[in-house]
Chains A and B, each alone.
Chain A
Amino acid sequence: MSAELSTNTETAVTVSRPPHPLTEFWYHFKQNKGALGGLVVIALIALIAIFAGVVAPHDPDIQYRDAILTPPVWQEGGSWSYILGTDDIGRDMLSRLMYGARLSMMIGLIVVTLSLAVGLGLGLVAGFFGGMADVLIMRAMDILLALPSLLLAVVVAAILGPGLVNAMLAVSVVVIPHYARLTRAAVLAEVNKDYVVASRVAGAGPLRLMLIVVLPNCVAPLIVQATLGFSTAILDAAALGFLGLGAQPPTPEWGTMLASSLQFLQRAPWVVTWPGIAILVTVLAFNLLGDGLRDALDPKLKR
């Protein structure tokens, strides 16, 4: 049995080369229907966000005074010119949602980039140099983690003053510890392996060791975390918007849209329903994608 098996693998090796890591990754990733669905939805939302100016039927800020609180097209009194209805001052919901997608994707991108960059740097330094730097950095991260994330974001936003940029900063600060801890853990796992020691012996400087030797082998968990970070960023920024600490009206940010039409909840439920659905679908898509990435990138689960 074993002899048979070994001859089989030998012939297999001579016939085909091992698959490219990306091919292998894609093979595992596409098994997960949920993750594929998430990817498709994200691609769609990203396209809408990029081409909002082209696909949106109306200007998101124009108030159609004769069409205030028009219901969606399938309800009585709805009209095809405002497919998802209009809000309390006659702005087209669909167009606002599309421009809102632009904001949400941008929020996700900026928050993840910022927090990833800072967290990665801190984690690398902490894991690599150890000692005092490690203690100081990780203690600081523990302090940030001890505060409930939304509370911290609320406080930072309250202090910086309400606004979209400040909300993004606030949410970024909150998620930095996650990246720092992940990076540090990954670096600690790698730093004593033979290939790193070999590079060090060959005379590689600390920067080269950090960024070129070790970092590429720590990327997998960071990719997963960054994907999931999009959903946290979008959710928290929307929550800040809802509390009046994020983007300010008339910005078509989804959370802000929700908050500013609260008093029409009973009379015109759609003004509240659509932004919420938009948030939910986007966040869900990123979570599905993140889960799928984790399964595909984690060698322990590959079998």
Chain B
Amino acid sequence: MLRFILTRVSLVIPTFLGITFLTFILIRLVPGDPIEVRTGERGIAPERLAELRHEMGLDRPLWHQFLDYVGNVLHGDFGLSLITHNSVLSEFLTLFPATLELALCAMLFATLVGLPAGILAAVKRGSLFDHGVMGASLTGYSMPIFWWGLLLILFFSVGLGWTPVSGRLDLVYYVEPDTGFMLIDTLKAGDYEAFRSALGHLVLPTIVLGTVPLAVVARMTRSAMLEVLGEDYIRTARAKGLASGRVIGMHALRNALIPVVTVIGLQVGTLLGGAILTETIFSWPGVGKWLIESINRRDYPALQGGVLLIATSVILVNLLVDVLYGVLNPRIRHAR
């Protein structure tokens, strides 16, 4: 068991180093110099330029810069933002809970809707409901979510006035950030009005970000259920007279869940990528919007650090899913 976990963890290290190298090298490919960006059009004295370059380590050979970078990263130093001069890591960590809250809600939404829809579609195979679920999930999978978000805003926020257009909380409320999760912070503060406001702000972004995972979960659940429902032990269970609900819930679903759980784990990347679009549309103050702003402001240390941190979280979640999967399923643990 420990051996299995250690193997998995050790496999992650080269990937992590590779990502670090990739982000490092990508940023060097940017035309223009970070100092030029900083000084703008006015120009800078050559001596001062050399001084600054030396200060930032830009005059050292590339491989040296990379080693410096890896060393800094391992010490939690992701550099300073060129614009705000704050540490990239601290900026990321203040914004990350907002993204995480949104992503978790989206995943919850996708699972809570997608799982039952997939199960029902499989049980009622070939019915109108089945066709409806399959059609809807294929549409959801094909959806340009930035457009989908705009449509929802147009309909629910502008047209019906049910939900706010952007942000995480109405300006009239202020809640001391504690966990960074607005829903939890407002409840902790005992401010139920603010909680409702936070919930209202979450609804549309959750739907938008959850649409693609929802489609994937529904489709995967349906096909996994169909496969399991054709197995002999299901026929046995039915033949010995078990109620249909019990056969589906106890015997079929448990075995169908394995691929579904994997797929849910794999959606983390989709969620964090989709967060870039969702947060931009809804002005959600998370890391996705921050990354796009960093790009527009040519704040390369922020971009570099942000990408590395997001990639690291994706790797860690995938590792976690991998290990959990091995813990739950001995066949995988002993496969290699």
Contact = CB atoms under 8 A, between A and B. Distances in A.
Interface in B303-323: 303, 307, 310-311, 314-315, 318
A280 B142 contact: yes
Interface string B265-302: 00001101110110010000000000110011000000
Contacts of B273: 148-151
8 contacts: A142-B15, A146-B269, A147-B19, A150-B276, A151-B272, A276-B150, A279-B144, A288-B138
A231 B29 CA distance: 29
Given A147-B19, A148-B314, A266 B144 contact: no
Contact of B141 (A238, A255, A269, A287): A287
Contact of A146 (B148, B150, B153, B318): B318
Contacts of B295: 154, 158, 245
B150 A272 contact: yes
Interface string A160-203: 11000000000000000000000000000000000000000000
A159 interface: yes
B292 A146 contact: no
A83 interface: no
A226 interface: no
A147 B27 CA distance: 16
Contact of B146 (A258, A283, A284): A258
Contacts of B311: 146-148, 151
Nearest to A157: B295
B49 interface: no
A45 interface: no
B215 to A, nearest CB: 10
A166 to B, nearest CB: 12
Contact of A155 (B26, B141, B143): B26
Q: Which 10 A-B pairs have the closest CB atoms?
A: A276-B147, A148-B273, A150-B273, A143-B18, A283-B142, A284-B142, A148-B269, A158-B295, A279-B144, A242-B146
Interface in A114-165: 139-140, 142-143, 146-151, 154-156, 158-161
B230 interface: no
A215 interface: no
B288 to A, nearest CB: 8
Interface string B2-46: 000000000000110011001100110111000000000000000
A280 B141 contact: no
B93 interface: no
Given A146-B315, A155-B26, A155-B303, 9 more contacts: A142-B18, A149-B269, A154-B291, A255-B144, A266-B158, A272-B150, A280-B144, A284-B142, A287-B141
